[in-house]
Chains A and B, each alone.
Chain A
């Protein structure tokens, strides 16, 4: 099956710093989404981005489908950005997602 690899596995930032999270996938995908799991366990959808670039406030994402990777940028990080960031992909129409292992982000004040 498709492999989804996220890096780095762990990241510690000082408040106000910028960061880039990476997601590599092993096959062409129909669907790619980024999620944030907060410290209380809630999973929040950040982006649906099978290709191209999107921005939402301090967060932006870029997917280069032909090269099989996606990047999530977090600018001016805040303590509330802490949690786990997941990339998930789907090969087929139907949204059956395969998740990466996640990047654990800790933002220190």
Chain B
């Protein structure tokens, strides 16, 4: 199916573990983004990418790593998960104006 997909949709992990959230888009958009949504903080930008092999930090990048070896994929890795990283994570893409969001991944860190 065309569009933007995220996997897994739900994830439970423990503190200290590495977790990778996947994002895939079929539009060939140049721009891709990762946001987290938390009660009291709204949506905040973690990392973004303007093209393959080009990434940059957003508002809350600490504890996260991204890569973009292919235009269509933009994985987000939590190198050593902490409880404060419990959140809903949204991936988005754009070209470059209107932004389209994936369905989100709910992550619980115990």
Residues of A within 8 A of B (CB): 31, 33, 35, 41-45, 48, 86, 88, 93-102
Contact = CB atoms under 8 A, between A and B. Distances in A.
A95 B31 contact: yes
B42 A99 contact: yes
A41 B96 contact: no
Given A96-B58, A102-B42, A45 B33 contact: no
B43 interface: yes
Closest A-B pairs by Cβ, 8 of them: A43-B101, A99-B43, A48-B98, A95-B94, A99-B42, A48-B97, A95-B96, A101-B42
Main SS of the interface on chain B?
Answer: strand
A35 B94 CA distance: 14
Contacts of A98: 45, 59
A39 B77 CA distance: 27
Contacts of B31: 94-95
Contact of A95 (B88, B90, B99): B99
A97 B94 CA distance: 11
Q: Which of B43, B45, B48, B92 has the most CB of A within 10 A?
A: B43
Interface residues on B, range: 20 to 34
Contacts of A31: 97
A28 to B, nearest CB: 17
Given A45-B100, A86-B43, A95-B99, 12 more contacts: A41-B88, A42-B103, A43-B92, A43-B101, A48-B97, A88-B99, A94-B31, A96-B33, A96-B58, A97-B99, A100-B42, A102-B42
Interface string B80-110: 0000000010101010111111011000000
A95 B42 contact: no
B50 interface: yes
A107 B94 CA distance: 31
B97 A95 contact: yes
